[in-house]
Structure 1
Amino acid sequence: MTEQFVSIERAETPLGQRVAIVRFDTGSKANALSQELMRQLTAAARSFEGDADTNAIILTGRADRFCLGMDLKDPEFQTALDLPLNERRQLLQLGPRMCKAWEDLEPMTICAIEGWCVGGGVALAASLDLRVCSRSSQFYIPEIERGLNMSWGSLPRIAGLIGPARTKRLTIIAEQINAETAENWGWVDYIAEDGMAMGKAISVADKIAAMPPVAVRMIKQGIETATKPLNRAVSATDMDQFALMQSSTDHAEGVASFLEQRDAKFTGG
């Protein structure tokens, strides 16, 4: 039987039936995105399809840490290079499908982040409408340091929020930013005290829940249509770019150096 890492509940507030809370916790300190967790998060998002009553959905990870990105130790991920290309492409679609499923939701979505949010966690958070983080939160995209490109359709989403130069600082220079910088850049919308990100997210969700449900969805749809018409076009090849980089010697060196806790020596191979 597959272990369940994702749970769905309703907020315990007067308007709580209009506010859903989705939590994911793998039981590990990293709370990393394994292939199975991505399947479950995709299914959780799609479970709201046809739901006409929910106005807001909050996504959160562990109480002490949102997510440290893709699980590099996941057996499915480790064996991906041994698969035929057609099967590997199917596996690599899990991340993009997960992010797209969350982005396509009609209700407003809020990401409640405590602690670190890394790599794939950043890509997932970028798929939601609003982000709330704790004061000690840190954001970091180390994909390039692992010999990989940033994919899952995340680059246009992130650039749309913080602009091209800051997106390059995050994804090419791999700068780590704190909550205050993230707010100044426009990456997060609200900062809460440590341990209170969920409380702040519920407060924002309650305000949304009090609004006319149909109007909320209409306005969100109008904004999404106006601001993201080219996102899919400019990120259409990033999955295949990822597959190419995954088979490179630079990726092998990036992963080895990470696991061995040493500086990587990239050669362009």
Structure 2
Amino acid sequence: MTDKILTERDGDIARIIFNQPEKRNAVSLEMWQAVEAALTEFAKDDSIRVLILSGAGGRAFVSGADISKFESERASEAGVANYNATTKRVYDLVEGFDKPTIAQIDGFCIGGGVALSLCCDIRICGKGSNFAVPAAKLGLGYGFEGINRLVNVVGPSFAKEIFFTARRFNAEEARMMGLVNRVVADDQVASAAAEMAAMIGANAPMTVNSVKFIVGETLKDESARDLPACADRVKQCFDSKDYIEGRRAFLEKRKPQFVGS
């Protein structure tokens, strides 16, 4: 473990914080491994309703890979393979996390930061945020899964522009492309992410999590979709105590207290 990755809990909201502000939260292999460990532990905790990913220091979410580590971590074929396998596991864990995930984007979101944010369900950034995937300036290769995530969010034309030009896009351009859900004042990014998390966390967890699962299935090829599992998730919602609580709370004009069962 490393102090460059922090974890926090605030009730039913969990956080993973990239903590290398002196390098705009550029990520080393050691940091990715710590994120993997944190995600694995959080995935076991049924009391978590929302996960927020953020960067420390207020100047960056994640500014990509720590290039100073390239010679020690990614100079050999084996090193590249190990690094790519580790980041793939992290991206898959974030994308496959059972609960809603929010990317709280302060400042720079570059390279691996963009890739990580695309694995989250919701992205909130500040007006001063900047985005870029500079792979073409570094000679890096990007695999199918990462590019596919970007295409699913912004479409093929914008995905090509982002990669072909390798230029920086500002927050308004990111919003226009659909790369982010919401743009807020730079000093309100954390509060906006917390407010969104609280709003999600107050809703029926089984409904929210079933929608996340079903949306994920819609993005798969038709032959790969698990429609029976989708139907089962819907049935579980209607069979739940939370469905009874939701109906009663509505009739009684009070806020429902959902328990996730």
TM-score, normalising length: structure 1: 0.77
For structure 1, which runs of at least 5 residues remain unmatched after alignment? 12-16, 233-269
Report if aligned partners of 2:29, 2:73 keep a CA contact under 8 Å in 1. Answer: no
Higher share of residues assigned helix: 2
Deviation at 1:33, TM superposition (A): 1.1
Report if aligned partners of 1:95, 1:152 keep a CA contact under 8 Å in 2. Answer: no
1:199 aligns with 2:191: yes
| Residue aligned with 2:186, SS | coil
What code does the residue aligned with 1:210 have? A
In structure 1, which of residues 71, 77, 83 is the aligned counterpart of residue 66 of structure 2?
71
Deviation at 1:86, TM superposition (A): 4.9
For structure 2, which runs of at least 5 residues remain unmatched after alignment? 225-261
Deviation at 1:197, TM superposition (A): 0.9
Deviation at 1:206, TM superposition (A): 0.8
In structure 2, which of residues 48, 56, 70 is the aligned counterpart of residue 54 of structure 1?
48
Per the alignment, residue 115 of structure 1 pairs with: 107
What code does the residue aligned with 2:19 have? D
Report if aligned partners of 1:161, 1:186 keep a CA contact under 8 Å in 2. Answer: yes
Deviation at 1:93, TM superposition (A): 0.8
Deviation at 1:176, TM superposition (A): 1.7
| Residue aligned with 1:31, SS | coil
For 1:35 and 1:42, locate their aligned partners in 2 and report how far apart those are by CA, in whole Å: 11
Report if aligned partners of 1:99, 1:152 keep a CA contact under 8 Å in 2. Answer: no
Larger Rg: 2
What code does the residue aligned with 1:64 have? R
1:90 aligns with 2:82: yes
For 1:64 and 1:23, locate their aligned partners in 2 and report how far apart those are by CA, in whole Å: 13
* Structure number with higher relative contact order (C-alpha < 8 Å, ≥ 6 residues apart): 1
For 1:152 and 1:19, locate their aligned partners in 2 and report how far apart those are by CA, in whole Å: 32
| Residue aligned with 1:165, SS | helix
| Residue aligned with 2:214, SS | helix
| Residue aligned with 1:172, SS | helix
Q: Across the two proteins, how many residue pairs are aligned to each other?
A: 222
| Residue aligned with 2:22, SS | coil
In structure 2, which of residues 116, 119, 122 is the aligned counterpart of residue 130 of structure 1?
122
Per the alignment, residue 42 of structure 1 pairs with: 36
Report if aligned partners of 1:25, 1:31 keep a CA contact under 8 Å in 2. Answer: yes
Give runs of aligned pairs for residues 14-25 of structure 1, distance below 5 A.
17-25=11-19
* Residue range with higher mean Cα deviation, 18-27 or 161-170: 18-27
Per the alignment, residue 224 of structure 1 pairs with: 216
For 2:156 and 2:200, locate their aligned partners in 1 and report how far apart those are by CA, in whole Å: 30
| Residue aligned with 2:131, SS | strand
For 1:21 and 1:189, locate their aligned partners in 2 and report how far apart those are by CA, in whole Å: 19
Per the alignment, residue 2 of structure 2 pairs with: 3
